[in-house]
Each structure stands twice: as structure tokens, then as C-alpha cells.
Amino acid sequence: MAPLTALAMPLLRRMEAERAHKLAILAIRLGMAAENRTADPPSLATTVAGLSFSNPIGLAAGFDKDAVALRALMRMGFGFVEAGTVTPLPQPGNPRPRLFRLAEDGAVINRMGFNNAGIAAFAQRLGPLRRIVPVGANIGVNKDGADPERDYPALLRAVASIADYVTVNVSSPNTPGLRDLQSEARLAAILAAMREAVPDAPPIFVKVAPDLSLDGLEAVVETAVAHGIAGLILTNTTISRPAGLQGAAALETGGLSGRPLFDLSTAMLARAFVMARGRLALIGVGGVGSGAEALAKLHAGADLVQVYTAFTYGGPRVIARIKRDLARALKTAGVPRISQVVGIEAERLAKGV
């Protein structure tokens, strides 16, 4: 980790959470963060949905909503980076405070509400960017005046030629009514409209809530398969509050991310893997901060893994540590390729064992 980064992280953790996030984005944009100069071991390389990844560890959406720091983020050692969520029109999001640390729990609660500068500014930044790792665009609808069957296709058209993949966010708990779009009928209508609008779109993923019922998850899986969707991202934040949270902000309204989400999101991932039976690519996210946790997501069925909360707490060194530990685990097990461990524990984990 660069000396400046090492100095900055403790200072940022003492600031109000949203202010610290904005300063972190600014510092990254200005080139003050560590840059990875070490080639990834061949064992971590994989191909998913027709895209090539030098390693399976990506940055989840929500960190760089407006695609302002992608140039530097791509150089930190991630295998891929996802920007957004971006909406058709700019919107300020929910009133502040809306971002809360639960440091004792390695967690965060947010009720940001898709604050972003809108798709026009997003596309203007992403379009000319030279990509050195795959970049995804996470798309959502505005709080007011939304027409999902109109808006998602329009957003897809705006990013189809400039993003390597597109994520349909229908699972944030902080936009009223958004999670209702995960229902079979609504999701089918949205995906059909997107396919009609952009028949030759890049791979499309649907991001799923961890609070879905088993029937709801199965409906999402089958709807995604029926409409030729590349895969699912499991999962978004949870509105549940696992027992034992110690942070003073534990009862704040919003989506919980980080370590307490790990078990719930991993079980959902495993269930989706069993239901999909190889028909969908899966990206696992929720509570990953170590190589062991990333490996557990892979064992549960993830082809790729995303991090967020651990990165906000630990900075770029988290990425290097996860990759190093993954490579060591594969070497110890005598496994030459990371794709060979995908799903090997899914049946067991899907049952909650």
C-alpha cells in the first residue's frame, strides 16, 4: 500500500462516513491511491459470460456511482470494476445522514437512494475511458416518475456500446417499490423490453436481494434464463438485522452490508447455483474481506466475487491480500484453475449446513 494511502485510511475512518467516501473518491481520482504493479498468477484467470478476467475479484457497484474514478480503480488490482447505480435523470438521493458505519461489526448501513448525476454524465465519462479490466454499468430507475419498462431499456441503450457488461438493479431497498420489480411478471416485462431495445447488448446481469423467498429466487432464476440473461449478482444489501450487531447505528433504516451479510448472501448464492444448474453465471457479493471468504463464495457457486465494505474499511491492501490468499489456497489444493472450485460446496451450503 502506498504511504499516502496508509496515512489516509485512519484519517478517513474518523470522519463522518459520507464525507469520508467523497474524499476517498477525490483522492483516488487525483492518483493518490496505491497502484498494483504485480501480475496476477495464471491460476486466478477465468472467463465468464464471454469476458476474460485476470482475477475474479471485482469492486461492487455503489462505490463509484458516477464513473469518476474508474481510471485509477482499474489499476488497483481488481479483476473488474462495476460503476453506478446510475439513473436516467440526476437525483440527490435521500436526506442526510444516510450512511452509517458499524465498525465493530465490519459493516455499513446505507439509505443513499441512488444519488447520482444521471446517465448523460455517466456515459460521457465512461465512453472515452480505456479499459484495462472489464467494467460494468449498474443501472436503476429514478425515485420519481419512473417507468421501468421504458427506463431500463433506455439506460441499456446508453451504455451498451461502452460497458463490458450491464447490471439491472432491481434490489436496492432504498428506492420505494424497486424490490417489487423482482416479481416474475415485472422482471419478465423489463427484460423483454431491454432485449427488444438492444438485441446485441453486452452480457446482462440482474442483481438480487438477499431477502427473497426461495420461490421468489427460483422465479428470478427462471425468468433470467428465459430471457437470455447472462447471470445474477447475489446479493444486494439486506433489510434484516442479524442478531448480535454491536454498532450504535445498527437500528438505522437502510440496507446492511459487510461481514454480517456473509452467511445470508452466501446461502442465497448457493441456492441460486443449484437452481440455475449451469444456465447462468453468478457473481457473489456480501461480506467478503479475506481470501477464505472469497473462496467460500466460489465454493458456493460464484464465478466471480465482488467486494465493497471491506474495501472501504481496509483500502487497496484488501484486494492484494484476497488474491494472494486465493492463489495460495489453490496451490495448496493442487488446483490449477480457479474455475475448478466453483460450486463444489453449493449443495451443502444451499441447505444451510
205 forms beta bridges with: 167, 231
Q: Distance between CA atoms of 148 and 328, rounded to whole angstroms?
A: 45
Q: In angstroms, how far is the first alpha carbon of the chain from the final one?
A: 38
The DSSP letter of residue 225 is H
Q: Residue 133 is placed in which grid cell?
A: 479490466
Cβ contact 260:249 at 8 Å = no
Cell numbers found for residue 317: 491492501
8 Å CB contact between 116 and 86: yes
Residue type, 203: P
Q: Which residues are catalytic?
A: 172
The three-state DSSP-derived secondary structure of 67-103 is CCCHHHHCCCCCCEEEEEEECCCCECCCCCCCEEEEH
Paired strand residues for 195? none
**Residue 234: count of CB within 10 angstroms of its CB:** 33
The dihedral through the CA atoms of 73, 78, 80, 84 has a sign that is: negative
